[in-house]
Amino acid sequence: MTQPQSSSTSSSQAWLFFRQWLKNPMSIAALAPSGAQLAGMMTAELPSEAGRVIELGAGTGVFTRAMLDSGIAPEQLLVVELNEELYEHLRTQFPDARVVCGDACDLTRIVAEKSFARAGQVDAVVSGLGLLNMSRDLQRSIMQSAFGVLGPGGCFIQFTYSPMPPLARDLLDELGLTVRRGGFAWRNIPPASVFVFSRARSERMRAVRK
């Protein structure tokens, strides 16, 4: 169960997040950290036997905390954050997890350098990246990077503030991916949809954490 945060801690994280948005609004998709409802929906989509999990764009660590509280072992969680100030915050908040300041497009190298897993041994990627705001080339690079380390039944869990998936249908076809809707977090600010991407020919691993 996710432990409640004090109002002072929540306010501090919200201010940290907002400050980073002010510095570079195109690189951060929201004005404030995600809420508990959305974090719960993202975590619920993890495969039932998920061991090794990668988180991209962790921000202040809302999803990180939810995954640890759901039973993901800290040493089996690799957190990748490009923003240096958010990275330092995450490293302090989650000292037992593997927190890396790095690029989501470079997962193969990061996974190998951190001895986290071999290619194909990662069960899920949880993403807080603003895919909807990215160019098609960057979307393609991130998804290729993620599925390059995911196992055959692995999945890529993404939220977006649009009711539609953040990747165009023709890009999904090009990458050999399928997408399904997870849930809709109407209490989140702003409301958000959860989508789960997987390989078109793989057998989807059933999520039982709901």
Tell me if 2 is assigned to some domain: no
Tens of pLDDT, residue by residue over 112-127, are 999 999 878 999 999 9
Adjacency order of strands within the sheet including 150-160: 98-101, 77-81, 53-56, 122-127, 150-160, 192-199, 177-185
Average pLDDT over residues 123-137: 95
Average pLDDT over residues 189-208: 76
| pLDDT exceeds 50 at position 159 | yes
Tell me if 209 is assigned to some domain: no
Tell me if 205 is assigned to some domain: no
Average pLDDT over residues 159-178: 96
Tell me if 167 is assigned to some domain: yes
Tell me if 136 is assigned to some domain: yes
| pLDDT exceeds 90 at position 14 | no
CATH number of the CATH domain containing 97: 3.40.50.150
Tens of pLDDT, residue by residue over 55-67, are 999 989 999 999 9
Count Cβ atoms within 10 A of the Cβ of residue 138 and give its class: 0-12 exposed, 13-18 middle, 19 or more buried: middle
CA distances from 14 to 18, 42, 55, 162 (A): 6, 20, 19, 22
Confidence category of residue 13, pLDDT binned at 50, 70, 90: low
Here the tokens at position 203 are 């057998």
Tell me if 1 is assigned to some domain: no
Q: Total structural domains in the chain?
A: 1
Q: Please tell me the predicted confidence (pLDDT) of residue 4.
A: 47
| pLDDT exceeds 80 at position 33 | no
| pLDDT exceeds 60 at position 210 | no
Name the more confident of 133 and 156: 156
Tens of pLDDT, residue by residue over 79-93, are 999 999 999 999 999
| pLDDT exceeds 90 at position 107 | yes
Residue ranges in 7-135 assigned as alpha helix (H): 7-23, 36-44, 62-70, 84-93, 107-113
Residue 12 structural domain: 7-199
Tell me if 210 is assigned to some domain: no
**pTM to 2 decimals?**
0.82
Tell me if 60 is assigned to some domain: yes
Which among 4-8, 19-23, 103-107, 185-189 has the top mean pLDDT? 103-107
pLDDT, averaged across the chain: 85
Here the tokens at position 97 are 């997890």
